[in-house]
């Protein structure tokens, strides 16, 4: 019987069978001891040296590592009617390490890189896999305070385009791209509409857009009669205990203005906490989606899908804390990228082994 890594990477093609075999072995070793360093996970000097040679080998393309895993993920996705494709960006802080190719982070003096994956889960939050990822280091600001390089918001649009390509192989599965406030981008909605909405969008609204009739979108939704309520337990976060939450739900179909390009029809729903305890900040979510939602059941379903976005935060937690990727001792950005591709698959594997949880 194949071990999990051999099965997961059964389609990998690194142009050398020995390299394919080494990838599978290193993945298995890292998953067995995710908190250990690479030497600690590999055990003997021979396996450690072979792992470092693999990470130094240009034929070990990190994109092929993710794509091979993504092909296995697609097979798992085909067994579900709806799959939630969670997007987010995280910082990886390598400050103080001598790694060539790093760039500034939120603070210009910090050194590190950014990671933006698409993490697929079922509506029941079963981790299905990492479908793609973007990794980059920012360019420093020039003397005018400007930063060169590709606009980072493009990653959200590119993620949607890759999902649209995958949707053609999943005719019986509805894909939903789910994102937080950073994904509230008009260009993303425009691209999705231009492609014919092969993938649904569900994003947290950041901009209180003005509607064609002149009213503000959030005000229009707030003026609607409540459809009903939803109740759930908000899981514990850093510095905050878990607590019961009850939200009142409102919804309205709105026309998002594109200027000279007309408008895009979207559904805006608002979930506002009622009865929050003194000292607790009420939980209020404003969401935008292309999906029509007119009934209480449909709106509750969308809220539950958005709540599943927490799974990508758990994925990042496993990657950084469980696998300790920010402690990697590698000399250059390409080596870090290859290691991160492996550790993303390991983090998914760990997520599948964690007992079911709801936040």
pLDDT digits (tens, 9 = 90+) for 318-357: 999 999 999 998 989 999 999 999 999 999 999 998 865 5
Q: Based on the domain organization, do 43 and 146 belong to the same domain?
A: yes
Residue 90 region by backbone torsions, left for phi larger than 0, else alpha for psi between -120 and 50, else beta: beta
Q: Based on the domain organization, do 166 and 214 belong to the same domain?
A: no
Residue 190 lies inside a defined structural domain of this protein: no
Q: Based on the domain organization, do 332 and 234 belong to the same domain?
A: no
- Lowest mean pLDDT across 104-108, 139-143, 170-174, 344-348: 139-143
pLDDT digits (tens, 9 = 90+) for 273-325: 998 888 888 999 999 999 999 999 999 999 999 999 999 999 999 999 999 99
Average pLDDT over residues 166-175: 95
Give the rounded percent of residues in the chain with a pLDDT score beyond 90: 77
Q: Residue 1's pLDDT is what?
A: 46
Residue 161 lies inside a defined structural domain of this protein: yes
Q: Based on the domain organization, do 10 and 141 belong to the same domain?
A: yes
Which CATH number characterizes residue 347's domain? 3.90.350
DSSP 8-state class, residue 97: S
Q: Residue 2's pLDDT is what?
A: 59
Q: CA-CA distance, 234 to 285, in Å (whole number)?
A: 13
Q: Based on the domain organization, do 58 and 176 belong to the same domain?
A: yes
Q: Based on the domain organization, do 14 and 156 belong to the same domain?
A: yes
pLDDT exceeds 80 at position 237: no
Strand partners of residue 265: 255
Q: Which residue has the higher pLDDT, 257 or 200?
A: 200
Say how many CA atoms lie within 13 Å of 158 toward its Cβ. Answer: 14
Q: Write out the two tokens for 352.
A: 């599948």
Domain count of the chain? 2
pLDDT exceeds 90 at position 106: no
Average pLDDT over residues 180-195: 95
Q: Residue 95's pLDDT is what?
A: 86
* Distance (Å) of CA 341 to CA 4, 33, 61: 16, 17, 9
pLDDT digits (tens, 9 = 90+) for 24-81: 999 999 999 999 999 999 988 999 999 999 999 999 999 999 999 999 999 999 999 9
Residue 299 lies inside a defined structural domain of this protein: no
Average pLDDT over residues 187-216: 93
Average pLDDT over residues 240-265: 86
**Nearest-CA neighbor of 82 among 349, 336, 301?**
301
pTM: 0.94
Instruction: Name the residue range of residue 256's domain.
Output: 204-294
Residue 49 lies inside a defined structural domain of this protein: yes
Residue 199 lies inside a defined structural domain of this protein: no
Q: Based on the domain organization, do 36 and 161 belong to the same domain?
A: yes
Residue 93 lies inside a defined structural domain of this protein: yes
pLDDT exceeds 80 at position 142: no
Final residue in a domain of this structure, among 294, 319, 338: 294
Q: Based on the domain organization, do 106 and 82 belong to the same domain?
A: yes
Residue 347 lies inside a defined structural domain of this protein: yes
Q: CA-CA distance, 200 to 193, in Å (whole number)?
A: 10
Q: Based on the domain organization, do 210 and 86 belong to the same domain?
A: no
Q: Based on the domain organization, do 226 and 263 belong to the same domain?
A: yes
Q: CA-CA distance, 345 to 66, in Å (whole number)?
A: 8
* Distance (Å) of CA 303 to CA 178, 269, 306: 11, 9, 5
Mean pLDDT value across the chain: 92
Instruction: Estimate the crossing angle of helix 45-56 against helix 333-353, to 10 degrees.
Output: 120
Residue 27 lies inside a defined structural domain of this protein: yes
Q: Based on the domain organization, do 155 and 84 belong to the same domain?
A: yes
The answer to whether the beta carbons of residues 179 and 203 sit under 8 Å apart is yes
Q: Based on the domain organization, do 271 and 320 belong to the same domain?
A: no
Q: Residue 238's pLDDT is what?
A: 67
Question: Cα torsion for 116, 118, 119, 123, to the nearest 10°?
Answer: 130
């Amino acid at each position: 019987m194949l071990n999990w890594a051999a099965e997961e990477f059964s389609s990998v093609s690194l142009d050398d069978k020995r390299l394919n075999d080494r990838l599978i072995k290193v993945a298995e070793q890292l998953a067995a001891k995710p908190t250990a360093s690479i030497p600690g996970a590999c055990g003997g000097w021979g396996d450690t040296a072979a792992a470092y040679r693999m990470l130094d080998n240009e034929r070990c393309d990190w994109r092929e590592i993710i794509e091979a895993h993504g092909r296995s993920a697609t097979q798992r996705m085909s067994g579900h009617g709806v799959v939630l494709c969670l997007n987010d960006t995280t910082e990886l802080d390598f400050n103080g390490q001598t790694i060539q190719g790093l760039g500034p982070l939120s603070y210009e003096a910090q050194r590190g890189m950014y990671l933006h994956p698409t993490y697929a889960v079922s509506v029941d939050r079963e981790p299905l896999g990492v479908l793609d990822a973007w990794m980059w280091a920012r360019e420093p600001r020039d003397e005018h305070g400007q930063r060169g390089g590709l606009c980072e918001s493009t990653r959200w649009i590119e993620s949607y385009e890759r999902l649209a390509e995958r949707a053609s192989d999943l005719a019986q599965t509805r894909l939903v791209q789910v994102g937080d406030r950073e994904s509230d981008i008009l260009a993303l909605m425009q691209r999705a509409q231009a492609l014919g909405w092969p993938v649904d969008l569900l994003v947290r609204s950041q901009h209180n857009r003005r509607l064609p009739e002149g009213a503000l979108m959030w005000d229009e939704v707030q003026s609607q009669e409540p459809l009903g309520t939803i109740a759930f337990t908000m899981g514990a976060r850093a510095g905050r205990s878990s607590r019961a939450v009850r939200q009142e739900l409102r919804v309205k179909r709105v026309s998002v203005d594109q200027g000279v390009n007309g408008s895009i029809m979207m559904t805006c729903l608002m979930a506002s906490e009622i009865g929050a305890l003194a000292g607790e900040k009420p939980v209020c979510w404003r969401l935008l989606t292309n999906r029509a939602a007119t009934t209480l059941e449909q709106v509750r379903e969308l809220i539950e899908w958005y709540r599943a976005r927490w799974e990508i935060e758990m994925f990042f937690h496993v990657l950084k804390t469980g696998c300790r990727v920010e402690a990697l001792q590698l000399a250059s950005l390409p080596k870090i990228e290859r290691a991160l591709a492996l550790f993303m698959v390991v983090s998914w594997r760990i997520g599948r082994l964690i007992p079911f949880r709801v936040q």
